[in-house]
Amino acid sequence: MKPETISVFDLFQLPRRYVIPLYQRRYVWTRDKQWAPLWQDISRRAEAELADPQTVKPHFLGAVVFSQVKTFGLDLPTFDVIDGQQRLTTFQLLLAAFRDVVSEMDPSLYAGLCKRLTTVTVNDAYLKEPHHTYKVWPTLFDQPGFTQVLAPGGADDAEVLVHVAEKAFEHVPNTVAAYAYFVGEVRAWLGLDQQPVERAAALLIALTRHLQVVTIDLEDGDDPQVIFETLNARGEPLQPADLVRNHIFSSASALGEDTPRLFNTYWKDFDEDGSFWREQESRGRFVRDRLTWFLVAFLTVKLEDDVSDSMIFDAFKRWWGSRGNETAESGLKELQRYAQVYVSIVQAPYDTRAGVLRRRLAVLEVSSMTPLLLHLVAEVGLKGAALDAILHDLESFLVRRFMLGLGGKNYNLLFLRLLKAVRHLTEPAEIHAQLLDTLSRGTGESVRWPQDAEVIDALKTLPAYRKWKPRGVSMLLEAVDLQLTTDKQEKLLIAGPLSVEHVLPQKWQLWPAPVAPEGVTDPVGWRNALLHTLGNLTLTTQKLNSSVSNSGYDIKREALKEHSVLRLNYRLLKEETWDETVIQRRSRELAGIIVSIWRGPDVAAAVTPEPFKHALEPMVNADDTFEALRAALVARPPTGFRPKSYASGGMQLQSDDWGSVSLRYVLHVAENDSGEDQIILSLEDAFGADTPQKRFMVPLMARLAQPVQLAFGDHRVGFRPNVIDVVLPGDEPVQRVQQALRKLIQITVPAIEAAFTAYRASLTSPGGQSMAHLDVLADTLRPSLPPHFYFMAADTYGGRNYRRIANAAWPLRAWLHYELLQQGDRLLVCLHDEQPKTATHKAAMATLWPQITQAAQTAFPTLAVKDGQKNSGILWLDVPVDDAADSAGVLDILGRLIEATAPVIEQTWDRPVTS
């Protein structure tokens, strides 16, 4: 094997093909697990290039293994990809996204860059086959999506495709989703400031110089399959901390130091199972042990570089090597010194200023401040009032941005800049002044510090409960309560979590109707918009919250007077009544208190933002949505289903065709762990373990897991024993929930019908039934039916002379269906509309029937296609099957009939619906 380190860009510079063999798996990388971390690594190198090109160090992105394929004549050099196909495919999708984003910009500025990016995404040499234009050629499954987005100029189309698919709960190829993700990230990153040309150049330099892979070319005699199996063996990969430990003690051994003593003295605690350092901790979407997060913070301080968890080992080797001839023990002592400070920061008692900050940072989900805190405590030695003053300003900056939803996407770079700004300062006052000045001068949405007027204006109208979530509301109101405590009162630490209480409840229908002020035309909408604003929220214990729930204000007021000791509620109790006017007044009062708790920027240095105005946002209530959904389903249930009430105010849909109510769709509203309402759509298998149906239901639920996840996304789907849940936000409009229900039915009904068919077959031997051959024919044809079509289980093994073929995506489902019909010795392939004469779509279908018949006659010019209408109103169309036709011939006729008539049928409704 011949290894070589090259840049991502150089990997694709030459005209050559990287072919992914058939035995490799399809493209399975996803946003949270791979795309986002990869983009983080790449954008960090580009940011470092912009900040100080002299300090940027190369970053290793993994390895790829190739085996060269023999080619002849003018054929392009071709390599089989033995390992690294996921990485290789992703690199091409990223480069194509970069190419297409810059191609949309000013051609005079980006022409050269576009040309360079085209050379690494397209082969322009002699091409023996059209697909040889692609640098990477994926497996058969991934080729359609890959070729779609690698063609230049598809950025907008891909983003629209992904957006539309997500709205419709449709799956899109993973390659297309990855490309669209990188398009969005590159666009956003280039547009962060007013220097897109410089940023594009920095990203290009990162890809050409600072992001490297190791390529391993196999030589004659190397067995590709053996190497593939070895590289993918089921071993537990070494973690960054393991590599760091090995490096330290191999260095110590080489220097002749006492490694057992060093291990027991300085490292043993890091390695102990169940210790503080091995506990898992989440940072956004990433979960790592605490030792990993400590090493990230430690190395960020030491190198003054943006270190991610994927860069730990390379960064550690740089720091370790920069120490010159120092002993391994001195390096371990430094690690231990910082480790002790780290523990003091992340375990600071909640009754200290550092502990309050720790608690609030956890709510804000901000961890990138840790390196700065490490420096201030471990290097400068700040403590007491000097440290507390700095912590207060840092917290104020973050909390104000949190309240306005300004986000923390680039906090890692911001706090690194602050670290560098105070690196060489030692006086607390100088450090504080420098931090305050730097934060106050921040411009742009990613770094600015909102001023008082902007915060107060926003807090009067923001739907705080929805925007900040219950944890955020609790944090802010706890701070208000502490601020309201006077020096004549005891300072009470709120030790446990409290519940956020809506004084005017979310289910306010039992309260007096809203009376809107002049100019407001929708009193209900106005009330719902004010419902989640700050003025309507307070804190109680969960038990007290549950006991008063939707009660009137007089009952809540008495309960709070008797049980609550919070100053926050003492002031609330002064209100004799509770309505929208009180809510608005209280929002203004709380906003004033909040800006006094968390100070604004240094006004002399601050940049004045554009005038900020925030209007009341219309809010959607989950219970209102659910009631609207219930009414719609009761009025017009999905064809073949009966709506019924369900426990805890929910409802269920049952199908008579399945012969049991133990398999049903269930709909209800529930709160998640954060107290937010969610609308849950479930498919529930309630068959008992001893019932004969159970052995068919278990594999059914397992089979449905993947298609449901593909349609709705992993984050929306949950699996419990015998239940598949689709979870939607509580503020989804009712039309969106109906669409999700239709999609769930569409995906699952064909598989359910097949399972019930198998169950019926297990109960009755087909041999003695006159129409058993139709069941055999149906079993043969079932795997080849078009998507969403299925044979109805109710017809199976019942002696009937027909087998209906319905489409789960059609609103008419069983009423409008294709059919295999046995008439004596003749077999017909039919299309029947069996809707009642008064049905919604009946008149439209009757009007279209001649056009449907004409389409069928055109498809079968040599067959005697007949149609008609019975006295009952049933519309029918028959296509005869040749007596000599086998199952393949029947399938051909059925497929051609569907292909000819389904597009005409679908003109009767705007979109596939089930009601």
**Distance (Å, rounded) from C-alpha 11 to C-alpha 81?**
13
Strands (E), 55-177: 59-69, 78-83, 136-137
Evaluate whether 131 touches 147 at the Cβ level (below 8 Å): yes
- Backbone conformation region of residue 799, classed left if phi is above 0, alpha if psi is from -120 to 50, else beta: left
Higher-pLDDT residue of 601, 159 = 601
List beta partners, residue 461. Answer: none
Lowest mean pLDDT among 188-202, 538-552, 758-772: 758-772
Tokens, residue 641: 């289903």
Give the model's confidence band at 915: pLDDT under 50 very low, under 70 low, under 90 confident, else very high.
Answer: very low
Evaluate if residue 606 carries a pLDDT over 60: yes
Concatenating the DSSP letter of every residue in 490-544 gives: ------S--EEEESS-SSGGGSPPP-PPTT-S-HHHHHHHHHTSGGGEEEE-HHH
The Cα–Cα gap between 390 and 431 comes to: 8
Compute the average pLDDT of residues 184-211.
Answer: 86
- Confidence band for 752, pLDDT divided at 50, 70 and 90: very high
Q: Using one digit for the tens of pLDDT, what is the confidence trace for 15-27?
A: 899 998 876 778 8
884 has a pLDDT exceeding 80: no
CA distance 825 to 845: 30
Nearest residue to 805 (alpha-carbon basis) of 856, 757, 849: 757
* Nearest to 897, CA basis, from 871, 869, 878: 878
Mean pLDDT, range 137-153, rounded to an integer = 88
Please state the rounded mean pLDDT for residues 471-489.
84
Q: What are phi and psi of 157, to 5 degrees?
A: -60, -45
pLDDT at 49 over 50: yes
Give me the chain's average pLDDT, please.
Answer: 86
Higher-confidence residue of 392 and 910: namely: 392
- Number of Cβ atoms within 10 Å of the Cβ of 597: 15
> Tokens 């209280």 belong to which residue?
586
Residue 798 scores a pLDDT above 80 = no
> How far is 329 from 43, CA to CA, in rounded Å?
35
| pLDDT average, residue stretch 438-457 | 88
Structure tokens at 859: 């498809």
* Integer Cα distance of 315 and 297 in angstroms: 11
Q: Above 70 in pLDDT, residue 93?
A: yes
pLDDT, greater one: 770 or 911: 770
Going by their DSSP bridges, the two strands 677-685 and 723-729 should be labelled as antiparallel
Task: Check residue 24 and give its pLDDT.
Answer: 75
Q: At what angle do helices 411-422 and 36-51 cross, to 10 degrees?
A: 30
Residue at 818: amino acid letter: Y
Residue 192 has pLDDT above 50, yes or no: yes
Q: In whole angstroms, how far apart are CA 202 and each of 199, 763, 818?
A: 5, 69, 60
- Measure the CA angle with vertex 768, ends 763 and 772; round to 5°: 80
User: Per mean pLDDT, which of 95-109, 391-405, 498-512 is the most reliable?
Assistant: 391-405
Rounded Cα gap, residues 499 and 545, in angstroms: 7
Phi, psi of 533 (to 5 degrees): -75, 165
Decide if 89 contacts 136 (C-beta within 8 A).
yes
- Measured at the CA of 310, the angle between CA 309 and CA 314, to 5 degrees, comes to 100
Share of the chain above pLDDT 90, in %: 43
Residues 6+ apart with CB under 8 A from 492: 485, 565
Dihedral sign computed on CA atoms, order 435, 436, 441, 447 = positive
Nearest residue to 412 (alpha-carbon basis) of 448, 366, 345:
366
Q: How confident is the model at residue 408 (pLDDT cuts 50, 70, 90)?
A: confident
Cα separation, 572 vs 538, in Å, equals: 9
Kindly tell me if the per-residue pLDDT of 505 is higher than 50: yes
Handedness of CA 520, 521, 522, 523 (dihedral sign): positive
Neighbours of 58 (CB within 10 A): 14
- Most confident of the following: 30-39, 673-682, 783-792: 783-792
Fill in the DSSP letter of residue 149: H
CB 793 within 8 A of CB 753: yes
**Confidence at residue 831, expressed as pLDDT on a 0 to 100 scale:** 96
Contact 619, 466 (CB under 8 A): yes
**Considering the entire predicted model, what is its pTM?**
0.74
Q: Estimate to the nearest angstrom the gap between the alpha carbon of 65 and the chain centroid.
A: 31
Residue 240 is encoded by which pair of tokens?
Answer: 């960054």
Contacts of 686 (CB under 8 A, 6+ apart): 661, 662, 663, 664, 722
In this structure, how many other beta carbons lie within 10 angstroms of the beta carbon of residue 236? Answer: 6
**Cβ contacts of residue 116 below 8 Å, gap of 6+?**
204
What pLDDT, on the 0 to 100 scale, is given for residue 912? 40
171: tokens are 């799956």
Residue 92 near residue 136, CB atoms below 8 Å: yes
Which pLDDT value is given to residue 45? 86
DSSP labels, 232-299: T-S--PPPHHHHHHHHHHHHHHHTT--HHHHIIIIIHHHH-TTSGGGSEEEETTEEEEHHHHHHHHHH
pLDDT at position 913: 38
Give, rounded to a whole angstrom, the gap between the first and last alpha carbons of the chain.
Answer: 63
Six token digits for residue 642: 């009966």
Long-range CB pairs of 400-403, under 8 A, 24+ apart, other chains included: 400/449, 400/450, 400/455, 400/598, 400/600, 401/448, 401/449, 401/450, 402/364, 402/468, 402/472, 403/450, 403/455, 403/458, 403/459, 403/462, 403/468, 403/476, 403/594
Rounded mean pLDDT of 731-760?
91
**Minimum mean pLDDT among 38-47, 179-188, 479-488, 746-755: which range?**
479-488
Q: How far apart are the C-alpha atoms of 134 and 123, rounded to whole Å?
A: 6
Given a cut of 50, is residue 612 above it in pLDDT? yes
The token duo for 749 is: 């009904």
Q: How does DSSP assign 548-604, residue by residue? A: HTT--HHHHHHHHHHH---HHHHHHTT-SS-SHHHHHHHHHHHHHHHHHHS----TT
How far is Cα 57 from Cα 211, in angstroms, rounded to an integer? Answer: 9
- Give 106: exposed, middle or buried? Use CB within 10 Å, 0-12, 13-18, 19+: exposed
Position 803 confidence tier, pLDDT thresholds 50, 70, 90: very high
Report the C-alpha gap between 504 and 325 in whole angstroms: 69
Residues with Cβ within 8 Å of residue 186, at least 6 apart in sequence: 97, 98, 101, 203
The confidence band for 261, taking pLDDT boundaries of 50, 70 and 90, is very high
pLDDT recorded at residue 229: 54
Q: Strands of 866-869's sheet, edge to edge?
A: 789-791, 802-807, 816-823, 826-833, 875-880, 866-869
The more confidently predicted of residues 179 and 223 is 179
Q: Which amino acid is at 488?
A: K
Task: Pull the structure tokens for residue 83.
Answer: 């390992």
> At a CB cut-off of 8 Å and minimum separation 6, what does 720 contact?
none
